[in-house]
Structure 1
């Protein structure tokens, strides 16, 4: 096989110059239109018109002819870039598509799509039947021509609609999702019609078998995508995140799936955009593909590839051909029929679909955009000999004009659509999920030696992740030197350091032997896994042997890429300046690159392990209104919703101390009012997450002692707190109130250090 010659120097230079000019003009015009309150996509579409034969070809014909009036093979290089942009734009659309919402509105979407197909198809067919013969490439095939015009009038431009909805911030609204759903059904039917008409043009007879094959291909592809593709995509994303753990690897995986699916649908004659859209939908349902990754992909697409796609589509527009009065007159008639057909079809069924007038106007305006989809249809018609050059220019003009009309109509009508309470609640929850600490968790590390503290930590983590798509890894670290002294210096979780005593002066706490053999390590893992309860996925078991400190081994593992490390460890400190925890836990909390949660239990749980499994009926949640308190609140509410527990949100106002016994009590009404707002805000979040919540605002000159008192009085089962780690004298200091609670609470305490 002979080596393929590389692209020529001039051809490569030309395509680079073309892309430079297209992107430059598209971005300049998009920013200009954005600055006057118009969607950027309008400027991007006009960029191609400006650089095409309509303007540059008239004003500076020599420049146009040398740069853009090129051979078909040269222009195909631009088309490849355009298709990559189109595929990426459809992936973005899929990522923003709520498939559950669309399914819930499936009946409405089908009604709208039928209205958006039947009426435009009928009016388009009638138009094709009466158009003058000079506009028909083969006057003896008027039936084929009329069917083709009808099909062209029925198409909508999902990429244009999606871009406008994204720019208007309406793609997540019910109306945006409904437009996308109806548009996808609309286009699917449109492509089936196109396949049928194309078959008719090639053979001269209606090819029903081709139409049936297309319908069957769509159904089979969608069925396999959601039955087989969904777990395949989810598994691949999780594997890449676990093994490679980089954003670039995840973004590459997304594009590989999109291109592969696009190749499959293109092979089936369904167009590559369908496969790309479906991949976007599937990946959008995988929690591992975070909001930050979506935003990164969307930024790349909307800033580079989408502008190029729209600008290249505009290059096909030739206003010169419309200078002929006859061509212009027919063009205006075709444009009027196209707009009337879509609006009449959508408005005619919007009432039947239970939509308001403004919703009908918005959907009609959106689905009226034809964009590149109609340009593709026109190109196919020209290649099949169905359209004349003039008719091709008219259809391209309609595609551009309707795409320019859609943003203005939707910008005008969307603000007039009243947001329902159900929709407002959904959008607020989506906003919370984007910013949520708990929802951002994808990987959690739980180091363990099998003690009661770690087992109770597993109990809490099990309730936390049961409804989340989270990978949990259990880690057991063994030092190379198995002597007790070495193990104690290493500071394993669950061990007392020499010379220190348990809370309350109890010196007889149970120590957990360091597991050495595989059987013992297996039993350690089993004890922890039992406390996790039923989970969709079993945790991974990781065993590490180290010659260095245990903390180094844990930190090395954390650095692989975890979102939370959970440590089970009781308080050891009892003297001022002494660390609360063992050297291992203290060092991990200080140096971990991710949030850390330390769970401490009373020593009685060592002696009576069954207490670990006692129901969690009441959770105490101290809060001071900081971000770390909010993160701890999310943990508490998520656990409470799973355990059907009551969360008591408490804010303690710190009463200023005074040495003057005759001084009047300070007026703390403003502080109490602020505390009330703090607990009410957290309580609202708890109710959104499905937890039962009560609130308390107390005043004390010793907030830590007050929290312990409340926990004892109300029979609290576990305390969940947020705190910031502050390095003091080489140890992690969580604040005097937090440390007092950890040392004196009558129940387990979980402290989250997330900042």
Structure 2
């Protein structure tokens, strides 16, 4: 029997040295990065210079003892730094993929494609030509001049989306047409650039360039991309959805992203391509999953750009030989490379701008922006050095070009963008995006609908149907059964959730259960609710849960796992205003729900009403945020049901004992009401809904709202309310409670505290 060889742990001095190296690199990189950011320059320039300052060119000359103690180390020791550097590189490519908006590229269509072709083909051709005539001493493997030329062509084609985006954000033009065109064309450039890079690096690893090797590498790329954007896309979506359903934590989602990227990176590395290709593709795929929202992306981006990316750039700077750049030959070649880079990218964009229907100033802006290489070209240079394509001198030249073009781009764009006028269509689009930026409905990904099969939850499902249609929103229908065994503890609960999550992933429409309930009764309840949903792309998940201490506790426990909206059907306890409006269960869920809650009361309805069309929705408003969220729901329903939304604002007339003399002057209050309803109406029209506005006065607004619903034959009332607690019960306000108790039609109340 062969004994397993025990690998000795990392020695004390080796561990101390790598920690000290990381401490110094991160401190200097972040300090210089923030210093450059404060003067309006890309932080990556400062982070690169940190490596230069700590390398042989500066620290090695000023304090050779410190430099040698820190960085003149055996190869095995330096490889420890390289591992962390590669981890930062992989994370940086994930961030790049997350920021690659496929929909944006498709929306810009022909214009983006024309621009990207000019931004790729011309620089690629000029870069290849430069590589073909480059002096032999600048080529690491002279016998691979074709591979070197292809690599240099790829380096010249890359653009730095992070640098471009930063400048566009600072100038507040990132959502303008010109900003969107730059980003779309840059994303196409970079996507093609990463594929080219993986292909060229794969060719370099074979050691020779021949047609068979080239075709094998290209075929490997095509196969990987084909599988990634078909089977891989589905797996990614379902895995992210499953993790969110089961665990519902940011940590689990970020871990899943990193695991997918590492696995894909390992696969592409094994295929003879670069690990960065797998990481980039995973970033693109995850970026298309709505569940992986802005907050998660921002968290990952902050971790990457504040810790791992600076270390990567600083280590890249360590490899840069500034002294070599001062050599007349190297300096001359560097100027030629810089000139070819600028002329190729800028000239290519300017050459195709007329064919894309762009003005001269638009061409200058896009060419100047896409000329920035920034972090992306440093990534390319690092891979070229590691693959044995570049010499140290050529590596230093490419890094210097990346820095120079990154400093040039902001100046050009700040000069040219103010000269581009905004068209009326562009203004309309920007206004619409501003409306949708803080949208409540558009950010809903998961909805929980507890049900016992009553008419109220069936009508709630009827209202949800148009919201779910054509949206990436998942509905979970929850049925709570009586508990047969209260034991098990937290560990059992987590185990149950994982088991239910696995069932949901493999069979997303089956009934999940952790109890032996009457399946016939449960199916009857689920079927009655699903019948009101109509035809949906994704059928709702059926969840059956044992009752915990109370039904409310069970619902709240389920709602705590990452839902954006809880919808409760509740008929109310009666018309007596002295009684609580809702049952104890609904009352508690409203107060303690970790997300907005919508209560649907269909006490005025019969079993047949939920199937009737919704032609007219009454939307009372008072201009609060809850009213705005309710308005979004109403507009979203109306836009898909071809219904009319009537926005009503009722001015509260003072009582007779509050009037000093004569009729009160309510002109100011009416004017405010008109402003509020017009603002909501403009929002509704932006969302595609038909809108009617009404401003009226009444001594009892709640009575007027009910009577108005009767007069106009409203099919539903949708309203918002700020929750207030009175004597341990949820109080939605006198107006809301009166409307719910007395309305002639179903009422939906959104509480979004």
TM interval, short-chain normalised: 0.7 to 0.9
2:591 alignment counterpart: 590
* Offset of residue 146 of structure 1: 5.6
Q: Are residue 35 (structure 1) and residue 33 (structure 2) matched?
A: no
1:439 alignment counterpart: 442
2:645 alignment counterpart: 647
Deviates more, 1:118-127 or 1:243-252: 118-127
Q: Are residue 553 (structure 1) and residue 554 (structure 2) matched?
A: yes
Aligned equivalents of 1:65, 1:462: Cα separation in 2: 68
* Offset of residue 392 of structure 1: 4.3
* Offset of residue 148 of structure 1: 5.7
> Deviations 1:7-26 (Å, cap 9, x if unpaired)?
22222222222222222122
Preserved contact between residue 435 and residue 683 of structure 2 (Cα < 8 Å): no
2:180 alignment counterpart: 174
1:696-711 matches, within 5 Å, as: 696-711=694-709
Preserved contact between residue 203 and residue 217 of structure 2 (Cα < 8 Å): no
1:217-616 matches, within 5 Å, as: 217-371=220-374, 374=377, 389-419=392-422, 429=432, 432-479=435-482, 517-546=518-547, 548-603=549-604, 605-606=605-606, 609-616=607-614
1:186-197 matches, within 5 Å, as: 186-188=192-194, 190-191=196-197, 194-195=200-201
1:510 alignment counterpart: none
Aligned equivalents of 2:684, 2:384: Cα separation in 1: 58
Change (3 A) 1:434 1:87: farther
* Offset of residue 244 of structure 1: 1.0
Aligned equivalents of 1:46, 1:40: Cα separation in 2: 10
* Offset of residue 426 of structure 1: 5.1
Change (3 A) 1:575 1:387: closer
> What TM-score, normalized by structure 1, do the two folds share?
0.87
Q: Secondary structure at the match of 1:30?
A: helix
Q: Are residue 198 (structure 1) and residue 204 (structure 2) matched?
A: yes
Preserved contact between residue 446 and residue 565 of structure 1 (Cα < 8 Å): yes
Aligned equivalents of 1:560, 1:387: Cα separation in 2: 51
Aligned equivalents of 2:520, 2:382: Cα separation in 1: 69
Q: Are residue 14 (structure 1) and residue 20 (structure 2) matched?
A: no
> What TM-score, normalized by structure 2, do the two folds share?
0.87
Deviates more, 1:534-543 or 1:624-633: 534-543
Q: Are residue 216 (structure 1) and residue 219 (structure 2) matched?
A: yes
> Deviations 1:422-446 (Å, cap 9, x if unpaired)?
5555555555555222223222222
1:726 alignment counterpart: 724
Q: Residue 737 of structure 1: which of 723, 735, 751 is its match?
A: 735
Q: Residue 53 of structure 1: which of 53, 56, 74 is its match?
A: 56
* Offset of residue 197 of structure 1: 6.8
Aligned equivalents of 2:584, 2:106: Cα separation in 1: 54
1:184 alignment counterpart: 190
Aligned equivalents of 1:382, 1:735: Cα separation in 2: 68
Deviates more, 1:248-257 or 1:307-316: 307-316
Deviates more, 1:240-249 or 1:161-170: 161-170
Q: Secondary structure at the match of 1:752?
A: strand
> Deviations 1:259-306 (Å, cap 9, x if unpaired)?
222222233343222222222222122121122212211221222222
Q: Are residue 85 (structure 1) and residue 125 (structure 2) matched?
A: no
Change (3 A) 1:408 1:541: same
Preserved contact between residue 708 and residue 746 of structure 1 (Cα < 8 Å): yes
Preserved contact between residue 82 and residue 308 of structure 1 (Cα < 8 Å): yes
Preserved contact between residue 165 and residue 176 of structure 1 (Cα < 8 Å): no
Q: Secondary structure at the match of 1:579?
A: coil
Q: Secondary structure at the match of 1:473?
A: strand
Q: Secondary structure at the match of 1:120?
A: helix
Change (3 A) 1:739 1:125: closer
Q: Secondary structure at the match of 2:281?
A: helix
* Offset of residue 460 of structure 1: 0.8
Aligned equivalents of 2:576, 2:181: Cα separation in 1: 62
* Offset of residue 135 of structure 1: 4.9
* Offset of residue 478 of structure 1: 3.7
Deviates more, 1:246-255 or 1:165-174: 165-174
* Offset of residue 142 of structure 1: 6.8
Preserved contact between residue 140 and residue 388 of structure 2 (Cα < 8 Å): yes
Structure with greater Cα Rg: 1
Q: Residue 710 of structure 2: which of 698, 712, 721 is its match?
A: 712
> Deviations 1:46-95 (Å, cap 9, x if unpaired)?
22222222322222222222212333333332222222222222222222
Q: Secondary structure at the match of 2:651?
A: strand
* Offset of residue 210 of structure 1: 2.1
* Offset of residue 660 of structure 1: 7.0
Q: Report how many residues are paired.
A: 716
* Offset of residue 553 of structure 1: 2.9
Preserved contact between residue 199 and residue 218 of structure 2 (Cα < 8 Å): no
Question: Which structure 1 segments of 5+ residues have no match?
Answer: 482-514
Aligned equivalents of 2:430, 2:74: Cα separation in 1: 49
Aligned equivalents of 1:35, 1:192: Cα separation in 2: 35
Aligned equivalents of 1:148, 1:588: Cα separation in 2: 61
Preserved contact between residue 237 and residue 253 of structure 1 (Cα < 8 Å): yes
Q: Secondary structure at the match of 1:33?
A: helix
Preserved contact between residue 591 and residue 730 of structure 2 (Cα < 8 Å): yes
Q: Secondary structure at the match of 1:653?
A: strand
* Offset of residue 129 of structure 1: 5.5
1:124-139 matches, within 5 Å, as: 124-128=127-131, 135=138
Change (3 A) 1:56 1:432: farther
* Offset of residue 652 of structure 1: 1.0
1:509 alignment counterpart: none
1:501 alignment counterpart: none
Change (3 A) 1:164 1:700: same
2:688 alignment counterpart: 690
* Offset of residue 530 of structure 1: 0.7
Change (3 A) 1:622 1:319: same
Aligned equivalents of 1:706, 1:79: Cα separation in 2: 72
Q: Secondary structure at the match of 2:298?
A: helix
Q: Secondary structure at the match of 1:659?
A: helix
Aligned equivalents of 1:113, 1:394: Cα separation in 2: 25
Deviates more, 1:615-624 or 1:450-459: 450-459
Aligned equivalents of 1:43, 1:284: Cα separation in 2: 29
Q: Secondary structure at the match of 2:532?
A: helix
Aligned equivalents of 2:446, 2:382: Cα separation in 1: 49
Q: Secondary structure at the match of 2:291?
A: coil
